[in-house]
Amino acid sequence: MTSDTDIKKEVNEGLKWVGMASSMVGVLDLVAQVIILAFWITPAQFGAAVAAISLFPILDKATDMGLSAAVIQRDDHTPEKISTVFWLNLAMSLVMFASIAFLFGPALSSFHGKEVIGALLTLYGTKLIWQNVYFMPSALMRREMRFRELSIIRMFANVAEFAGKVGFAPIFGVWCFVLGPLCRVLVTGIGTQICYPWRPKFVLRIREAMDWFWFGVKTSSSQVLFFAYTNVDYQIVGFFWGHAALGFYKLAYDIVLDPCRIMADVVTQIAFPAFAKIKHQTSKLVDQFIAFAKINLVVLLAFLGAIFIPAEELLGFWGAKWAPTAPAIRVLCLVGVLRALSFIVPPLLDGIGKPGLTLIYMLVAAIALPTSFMVAAHLYGYDYYPVNNPGAFPYPGGWDLGFMAMCWAWAVGYPFAFAVLFVLALRQLRLRVRTYLARTMGIPLCAGVAVLVSWGVIQLLGWAPFYLRFVVTAASMVAVFFVLLAYTQGISPRTVKAALKGD
């Protein structure tokens, strides 16, 4: 049995390296987006690209089928089983590419009335075949918690993506959003094989690998549903409000919810193998679950609080043409608070061998959120605007929310799915809601006070240029937040340093 000290050291070492890599990825993605959207891409062009690139994560998860998760979670490894999993994944990627090229790509182009959308999707399909070069060895490295090497590979790969995006944008326009990721996966494949050389055996023993297959199907189905319900809104916005509105909406999502996912991924990458190692020890699972939840809350609330008040000032870096995005940023910040808490639960359920429970949550979310999205589109969508459709009824309350209706749909629909998710998690841990809140609620309360302080600060800076208003307002929120954490929650730079050392 793995000792507490070993688990703690592996977790903290992993957090340190994955945190470094994720921070670098987040900064490079942000800088690349600011440069590309400020100089070369209009909101309408960006919106058209989003109709394709928003589907990339769904294709990735559907191709993987959760088999890499089975490699991490299962203990009955044999070279034959692992090789069989590889060949199954390769076959799936070939089928997926053919489906994209001849079915999904043309259908999506027809739906949006732009041929470039299907072409972008088809080009990305080549990545699904190439990823077989690294998906198995990277899963084996994650199982062994070799996050230092994985993080170094990730950093080099994302430098290549940054160079590809920014380098191709002035020449190829929206194609840079596919060419950049292709540069990333090329470097990832080469780097992974250097660090963990692996070749499959020419065997196919499907019967022996069936338990892995069904575990992977459950895990993959949950992840596919997650990316489906979190990306279907792009298709709805593009269809009902047009591609310029989709560009504004996507930018808000990229500024708020996508960074939340990237930052939470620092914890979730470590959480799954960590929970899997202590899956039979309930008390340790509870403590680790609370610890991961606190980390997510501190990091994500600091980020969300820093951008909530100075949203207009933040958009100044992208240019005046992106100003309509500011209200969407604030609404999505409210959703981000719940997302901060939710990201840690699926790794817990999968790690203890209950991927079916994760699937239940994803099914609820896949019903609740698209329903909210479609209601918002029906009530406030472009096609229902009375000028263009005289037979349509007026907007409820006379409000023309535009694409902001989709942001409010997130705020209304997501809490239902979130409630189901936490009930499932707390029941498995036999943890009371009161106990969980008592151990975590101090962090959001500190963030709330810090946001109020930042609002007062920005009121005093009306004379300053936008970049100074943003920096001072954001810095004041973060500073007050961490001072309050230190005095009320015992969370300080000293305790963080000690945690990273495993003390």
Give the DSSP per-residue string, 357-370. HHHHHHHHHHHHHH
| Sequence-ordered list of residues with C-beta below 8 angstroms from that of 160, at least 6 positions apart, any chain | 183, 184, 186, 187
* Distance from C-alpha of 364 to C-alpha of 357, rounded to nearest angstrom: 11
pLDDT at 391: 43
Domain ranges of the chain: 1-219, 230-503
CA atoms 79, 281, 64, 53: torsion sign:
negative
Q: How far is CA 224 from CA 212, 221, 330, 464, in A?
A: 18, 5, 27, 46
End-to-end CA distance of the chain: 21
* Distance from C-alpha of 242 to C-alpha of 248, rounded to nearest angstrom: 10
Residue that is written with structure tokens 């590309």 in the block:
36
* Distance from C-alpha of 419 to C-alpha of 421, rounded to nearest angstrom: 5
* Distance from C-alpha of 316 to C-alpha of 34, rounded to nearest angstrom: 10
pLDDT at 66: 55
Tell me if 362 sits within 8 A of 225, measured CB to CB. yes
Tell me if 417 sits within 8 A of 364, measured CB to CB. yes
The number of CA neighbours under 13 Å toward the Cβ of 226 is 21
Tell me if 147 sits within 8 A of 18, measured CB to CB. yes
* Distance from C-alpha of 232 to C-alpha of 368, rounded to nearest angstrom: 12
Helix (H) or strand (E) holding 479: helix 466-488
- Both tokens of residue 32? 């690349």
| Sequence-ordered list of residues with C-beta below 8 angstroms from that of 326, at least 6 positions apart, any chain | 311, 312, 315
Helix (H) or strand (E) holding 13: helix 4-39
Give the DSSP per-residue string, 249-313. HHHHHHHTHHHHHHHHHHHHHHHHHHHHHTTT-HHHHHHHHHHHHHHHHHHHHHHHHHHHTTHHH
pLDDT at 4: 56
pLDDT at 238: 86
Local structure of residue 196 (DSSP, 8 states): S
For helices 257-277 and 243-255, the axis angle rounded to 10 degrees is: 50
Cβ burial, residue 478 (10 Å; 0-12/13-18/19+): middle
For helices 466-488 and 282-308, the axis angle rounded to 10 degrees is: 150
pLDDT at 502: 44
Residue that is written with structure tokens 């703690």 in the block:
8
Q: How many Cβ atoms are within 10 Å of 289's Cβ, its own excluded?
A: 22
Tell me if 345 sits within 8 A of 431, measured CB to CB. no
Nearest to 336 by CA among 374, 302, 286, 292: 302
Q: What is the dihedral of CA 197, 203, 207, 209, to 10 degrees?
A: 0
Its pTM stands at 0.75
Nearest to 234 by CA among 226, 222, 225, 243: 243
pLDDT at 22: 66
Please state the φ and ψ torsions of residue 195, each to the nearest 5 degrees.
-80, -30
Residue that is written with structure tokens 């944008």 in the block:
169
Nearest to 382 by CA among 408, 401, 368: 401
Amino acid at 30: L
Nearest to 382 by CA among 230, 243, 254: 243
- Both tokens of residue 354? 């209950």
Average pLDDT per consecutive 10 residues, the chain (503 residues; last block may be shorter): 56 63 76 88 88 81 62 67 82 87 88 87 88 83 79 88 92 91 91 88 75 66 70 86 87 86 74 77 82 85 93 89 89 85 80 78 83 86 48 47 85 87 85 86 92 94 90 94 90 60 45
Q: What is the dihedral of CA 200, 74, 150, 178, to 10 degrees?
A: 70
Nearest to 139 by CA among 224, 77, 183, 94: 77
* Distance from C-alpha of 37 to C-alpha of 322, rounded to nearest angstrom: 9
- Both tokens of residue 402? 């535009």
- SS3 at position 197: coil
* Distance from C-alpha of 267 to C-alpha of 289, rounded to nearest angstrom: 11
pLDDT at 176: 92
